[in-house]
């Protein structure tokens, strides 16, 4: 499956700030820790229900606070956990982490039982979803088809991807707000968004050199694959002040990304390029030995950096959420700063 392969090869805050972002979660002094998967901490606004959520396939009404949430979308668990809600099941797309919970989200999970994990390799596991008896299905960061939505909505109220956007293209801000609205925690969601946006403001203040510089994210899937303006990775760069290269939309079209032809290798010649690879050493060596790529200034001036997708930094680069972003900015921004100066003598130190 192309999406699985692409997404799998993809994902300046102190620890105290990370804790502040997860303060509404199960470990907060003001909330009781969740005891089992599927539980929800105190904090839902009873007056928020019933609530209607618009999406690609229409409008979904959620009549009461959901208690058994299944995430068919690929990153919604982070938003839920940040708001103190533990889903009964999550969907695994890469990493094989227990509960599909990555290290940046374990503090928010606290002592709660890890959710059951659904696989994504062969599409949605409809029978397993039904067996979980959900009262809400979240598929905001997804590529649901109309047929998928029809099947799921017979099981429980289902919130699909936003209308008017490409599949797997929802930004972390909209996803967080949509999840918050769905579980009666809009105020918590808004605070998470505001606090996380504050991190971006801080980075831009500390790194004015990013402003106006061109940036791009790419991977080595079936040649070279670039992430476009409608992908969360592309938006990460623009949120930091970078500009995506002219002509990128012509290549990606109505998708979150696309393969580059050899004739468009020039699109990689930006001021700062992030490569998301399967094997750090082998793939870096292969890319830099490419006769076409090796002649570009992005290579000769050491403007490129590499992250391995199954390492935490690489995973966070694809798993862009209110819980992964504080960790990601802390680790990735110094590498970006070293790369964007265009001085080959400035070492881009591999983040760990």
Integer Cα distance of 94 and 245 in angstroms: 29
Q: Detail the DSSP E strand segments found in 223-291.
A: 225-227, 257-259, 272-277
Strand duo 116-119 + 136-138: pairing: unpaired
HSE, side-chain direction, 13 A CA sphere, residue 342: 10
| pLDDT score of 263 | 87
- The residue written with tokens 């293209």 in the block is 169
Give the residue ranges of the chain where pLDDT is below 70: 1-42, 352
pTM: 0.88
pLDDT digits (tens, 9 = 90+) for 217-261: 999 998 999 999 999 999 999 999 999 999 999 999 889 999 998
Beta strands in the chain (DSSP E): 51-55, 58-62, 69-71, 89-92, 116-119, 136-138, 158-159, 215-219, 225-227, 257-259, 272-277, 304-308
What is the Cα–Cα distance from 268 to 278, expressed in whole angstroms?
19
How high is the pLDDT of residue 254? 85
pLDDT of residue 4: 36
Helix (H, G, I), strand (E, B) or coil at 196: helix
pLDDT given for residue 42 in this prediction: 52
End-to-end C-alpha distance for the chain, whole angstroms = 29
CA distance 317 to 285: 21
């Amino acid at each position: 499956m192309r999406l699985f392969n692409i997404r799998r090869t993809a994902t300046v805050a102190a620890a105290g700030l990370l804790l502040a972002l997860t303060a509404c979660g199960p470990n907060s002094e003001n909330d009781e820790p969740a005891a089992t998967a599927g539980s929800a901490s105190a904090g839902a606004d009873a007056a928020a229900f019933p609530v209607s959520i618009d999406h690609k396939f229409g409008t979904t009404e959620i009549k009461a606070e959901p208690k058994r949430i299944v995430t068919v979308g690929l990153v919604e668990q982070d938003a839920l956990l940040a708001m103190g809600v533990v889903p009964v099941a999550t969907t695994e797309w890469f990493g094989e982490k227990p509960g599909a919970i990555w290290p940046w989200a374990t503090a928010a999970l606290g002592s709660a039982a890890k959710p059951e994990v659904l696989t994504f390799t062969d599409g949605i596991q409809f029978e397993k979803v039904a067996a979980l008896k959900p009262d809400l299905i979240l598929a905001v960061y997804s590529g649901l088809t109309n047929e998928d939505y029809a099947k799921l909505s017979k099981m429980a109220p289902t919130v699909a991807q936003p209308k008017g956007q490409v599949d797997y293209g929802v930004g972390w801000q909209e996803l967080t707000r949509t999840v918050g609205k769905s579980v009666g925690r809009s105020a918590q969601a808004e605070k998470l968004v505001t606090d996380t946006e504050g991190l971006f403001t801080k980075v831009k203040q500390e790194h004015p050199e990013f402003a106006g510089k061109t940036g791009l994210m790419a991977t080595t899937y079936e040649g070279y694959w670039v992430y476009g303006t409608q992908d969360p990775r592309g938006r990460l760069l623009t949120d930091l002040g970078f500009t995506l290269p002219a002509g990128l939309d012509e290549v990606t079209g109505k998708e979150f990304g696309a393969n580059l032809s050899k004739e468009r290798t020039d699109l990689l010649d930006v001021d700062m390029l992030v490569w998301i690879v399967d094997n750090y050493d082998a793939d870096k060596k292969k890319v830099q030995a490419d006769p076409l790529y090796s002649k570009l200034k992005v290579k000769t001036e050491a403007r490129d950096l590499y992250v391995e997708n199954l390492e935490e930094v690489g995973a966070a680069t694809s798993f862009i959420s209110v819980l992964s972003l504080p960790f990601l900015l802390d680790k990735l921004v110094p590498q970006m700063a070293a790369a964007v100066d265009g001085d080959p003598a400035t070492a881009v130190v591999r983040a760990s």
